Amino acid sequence: MPNTHQRVNPGLLFLMSLLPFFSGGCTDWLVNSLAFHPEPGNQVDPQSFDPSIQEVFFDSLDGVRLQAFYFPRANADRVVLFLHGNAGNASHRIEHGQRIANFDTNVFLLSYRGYGKSEGSPSEQGVYIDAKSALRYLHTNLGFPVERTVILGRSLGAAVAVEVSQNEPLAGLVLVSPMSSGQDMARHLSLSWLTWVAGNPFNSAEKIRGVTAPVLFIHGEVDRTIPVEMGRKLFELCPSTKEWKVVPGAGHNDLIWVAGDQYWEWIRKFIDSVAPLHAQS
């Protein structure tokens, strides 16, 4: 059935354009309450999918205790860091993590601060730190080289993925339904007259220039939350090797459901091409 945990509030960018006029505390409250919609705890039992899935806890670079789900594959030396969207928590994506793990790929599914069993409260800079911390954990604690790591981000998670991928020698990057920038979202909402006072949160259009890894873009053709033109803009700005996939008739929340097995086949082929499976000795 369609994924109901990818929710982006269009009013977010309207209010963010007014942020320079608010005090710091009010600004933080507005951004956090509108951009992030976390749910606590685990709503899905990972053991119901695979008893080998491990619930992992580790500290972020700024000392916040984070939760993640690790899908180990003993004979595989590659890993996917999975960065989810802005609603629910990582447990809602267990099924998706399992699909990727079935490609003989280790998967590390992160719950951002304030989501699931992770401590703290979410913020734009905070979730960036969380993703960077997860990448470090994969390397220092689990032994995966950055060169054998693929990052997959969807919706808000795509902006997080672009941030953490800058100047990193990753195997690859998968961006599903990515937003190009906060200012582009304001224009989409016919609020371009406000952009002269706006900052530019989640500015992937600028950051994508620092991505050197191969990138797979996937977007729904009739996405009304994050229009396909935003994904296409990122694709055109991306300086590295890239692929562009559009799902006809798909919106934002129903993308995977509409695309069906083709969605997973695109991801499998991409992972195999950028990080060919090498059996560990």
Strands 65-71 and 54-59, how do they pair?
antiparallel
Active site residue 223: yes
The whole-angstrom separation of Cα 97 and Cα 173 is 16
Q: Report the distance separating Cα 37 and Cα 7, nearest Å.
A: 8
Instruction: State pLDDT tens for residues 233-245.
Output: 999 999 999 999 9
Alpha-carbon Rg of the chain, whole angstroms? 18
Specify the CATH class of 11-274 in words: alpha beta
Could you read off the pLDDT of 119-139 as tens digits, one per residue?
Answer: 999 988 999 999 999 999 999
Span between the terminal Cα atoms of the chain, in Å: 39
Please write the tens of the pLDDT for every residue from 63-117. 999 999 999 998 899 999 999 988 888 899 999 999 999 999 999 999 999 999 9
Give residue-wise pLDDT tens across range 167-207.
Answer: 999 999 999 999 998 778 777 766 565 454 446 778 999 99
Q: Out of 37, 111, 177, 223, which one is annotated catalytic?
A: 223
Question: Within the chain, what is the greatest distance between any pair of CA atoms?
Answer: 60
pTM for the whole structure: 0.87
Write out the H or E segment, with its range, that includes residue 80.
strand 79-83
Q: Decide: 247 and 263 in contact? Cβ < 8 Å.
A: yes
Query: Is 252 a residue of the active site?
Result: yes
Exactly one of 17, 60, 155, 204 is catalytic; name it.
155
Backbone angles phi, psi at 109, to 5 degrees: -100, 110
Q: How confident is the model at residue 21 (pLDDT cuts 50, 70, 90)?
A: very low
Query: Taken in order 228, 229, 234, 236, is the CA torsion positive or negative?
Result: positive
Please pick, among 5, 96, 219, 252, the residue that the annotation labels catalytic: 252
**Rounded Cα distance, 77 and 70, in Å:** 14
pLDDT computed for residue 24 by the predictor: 47
- Domain extent listing, the chain: 11-274
